[in-house]
Amino acid sequence: MTSDSTAVTGTVAGPTSIPIKDVVKVKHYGRTAFAIFLILIVVAIAYYGFAKNPNIDWHVVWEFLFASSILEGLKTTVEITLIAMIFSVIGALIVALMRMSESLIIRLVAAGYIFIFRGIPIILLLIFVGNLGLFVRHVTLGIPFTHVIWYQRPAATLLTPFVASIIGLTLAGSAYMSEVVRAGLLSVGRGQHEAAKSLGLTSLQTTRFVVLPSALRVIIPPMGNELISMIKASAIVSVIGGGDLLTISQRISGANYRTIEMLIVAAFWYFTLIAVLSVGQHFLERRTAER
For the chain, domain boundaries: 1-53, 58-290
Closest CA to 80 of 249, 242, 197: 242
Fold (topology level) of 58-290: MetI-like fold (1.10.3720)
Q: Determine the distance from the C-alpha atom of residue 23 to the mean position of all C-alpha atoms in its chain, rounded to a whole number.
A: 43
The pLDDT, as a whole number, for residue 225 is 86
Widest pairwise Cα distance in the chain: 101
Q: What is the pLDDT of residues 138-168, one digit of tens each?
A: 777 777 777 777 877 777 778 888 999 999 9
Beta bridge partners of 139: 153
pLDDT digits (tens, 9 = 90+) for 62-73: 999 999 999 999
Confidence label for 89 from pLDDT (cuts 50, 70 and 90): very high
What does the pLDDT look like over 277-289, one tens digit per residue?
888 887 877 776 6
* Rounded-to-integer distance, Cα 26 and Cα 255, Å: 59
Of all residues in the chain, what percent carry a pLDDT higher than 70? 90
Give the sign of the dihedral formed by CA 127, CA 128, CA 130, CA 131: positive
Greater confidence, 98 or 220? 98
Q: So what's the pLDDT on residue 20?
A: 54
The whole-model pTM stands at 0.77
Look at residue 245 in the predicted model and tell me its pLDDT.
93
